[in-house]
Amino acid sequence: MIHRARVVVGLIAVLVAGAASGEPRVQLPDSARQGGLLMGQAPAGSRVVHDGYELAVGEPGRFVVGLDRDAPRRIKLRIQLPDGGERVRTIDVAQRDYDVQRIDGLPEEQVSPRSEELLARIREEAAQVRQARQRHDGRSDYLSGWQWPVTGRISGIYGSQRILNGKPRQPHYGIDIAVPTGTPVKAPADGVVSLVHDEMFFSGGTLMLDHGQGLSSTFLHLSRIRVEAGQRVTRGDIIAEVGATGRVTGAHLDWRMSWFDRRVDPTQVVGPMPKED
C-alpha cells in the first residue's frame, strides 16, 4: 500500500510540473546504447541540433539520431522550439564490449588490394555508397515498424573487430544471416531505393534503402536485385535475393544500417531474430 501511494504522489508531481510549465513537450529517452537509435519528438517547427548535424524534423515533430559503435558516454541535443525557447538534453550512452572475429583463407587480393585499377574502382564505389548515405530527406518511413529482411542463423554481428587473414581490419558493421542463395530479402521498413549496384568489389550485389531523416539500410552480397533506384517500397516487400557475391566465404545476407555516416546496429531497431518454424 505504501508503495502504491508513493507512485500516485509521484505521478501527481509530474502532472503538476507539466501543467505549471505550460511549455511544449520534448520527448526523448533518458538513455541509449552504443550503436543504437534514439527516436524523439518535439513540437512541429522545432530545430534539433546534435554534434554539428541539423536534424530533419518530420511533420509530426519526429526525429531520429543514430549512435555509432564507439559513441561517447554522454551525448547532447539542442532543441530550439518554435516559440524561441531552447532545451538542451543530455543522454547517457551505455558502452558495449565487442568480439574479435577472425576470418582466414580469403584471397589476398581481396584483403589487401594492390592494383591501381582495383583501388580506383574501390574508391569510386565507396563514394557512391557515401553519397547515398548523405541523403537528408524529411520522410519518417522508419515509423512503419521493423521486421527482419530474412530469418535464419546469425553468423556475424555488429561491431566485431575483424582480423582477415591475420590482419586487423575495419570492424564489422552489419549483421550477417547465413541463408542460401536465392532466399528472398524483404524490406525491413518502408523506404525509397537509393542505390542499386550489381557488382561492387567488396560487397557484390548492393542495394540501399533510405528510410528517411538520414537513416538507411544497406544489403550486401546479393545475387539478384528486384527493385530499381527511386522506387518506393513498403515493409515486407521482396526487394532482392541473397547471394555470395563480393568478398565472402559463403552465401549470406549482410544487413547494415546507417544514420548518415554513423553505423548503427540493426538488432537494436528490429529486436531479436524470430524463432524459425
* Sole window of 66-74, 85-93, 102-110, 175-183 interacting with Zn ion (rule: CB under 5 A): 175-183
Residue 276: count other Cβ atoms within 10 Å of its Cβ. Answer: 7
Q: Restricting to residues 208-267, name those near Zn ion by CB under 5 A.
A: 254
* Sole window of 42-50, 73-81, 144-152, 156-164 interacting with Zn ion (rule: CB under 5 A): 156-164
In the bound complex, what is the minimum distance in angstroms from residue 272's beta carbon to Zn ion?
A: 19
Among 58, 66, 159, 174, binds Zn ion (CB under 5 A): 174
Is 156 or 214 the residue whose CB approaches Zn ion more closely? 156
DSSP string, 126-172: HHHHHHHHT------GGGG----SS-SEEEE-TTPEEEETTEEEPPP
Among 166, 188, 193, 169, CA closest to 177: 188
In the bound complex, what is the minimum distance in angstroms from residue 153's beta carbon to Zn ion?
A: 13
Range 130-136 contact pairs with CB under 8 angstroms and sequence separation of 24 or more: 130/261, 132/194, 132/195, 132/208, 132/210, 132/216, 133/208, 133/214, 133/216, 133/258, 133/260, 133/261, 134/260, 134/261, 135/194, 135/210, 135/214, 135/216, 136/56, 136/213, 136/214, 136/260
In the bound complex, what is the minimum distance in angstroms from residue 100's beta carbon to Zn ion?
A: 15
* Sole window of 49-57, 115-123, 155-163, 193-201 interacting with Zn ion (rule: CB under 5 A): 155-163
C-alpha cell recorded at residue 244? 555470395
In the bound complex, what is the minimum distance in angstroms from residue 254's beta carbon to Zn ion?
A: 3
Is 68 or 254 the residue whose CB approaches Zn ion more closely? 254
Among 36, 61, 149, 156, binds Zn ion (CB under 5 A): 156
Residue 13: count other Cβ atoms within 10 Å of its Cβ. Answer: 10
* Sole window of 7-15, 128-136, 159-167, 170-178 interacting with Zn ion (rule: CB under 5 A): 170-178
Name the residue whose CB lies closest to Zn ion: 254
In the bound complex, what is the minimum distance in angstroms from residue 274's beta carbon to Zn ion?
A: 20
The residue assigned the cell 573487430 is: 161
By CB under 5 A, tell whether 176 contacts Zn ion. Answer: yes
Residues lying near Zn ion in the complex (CB under 5 A) are found at 156, 174, 176, 254
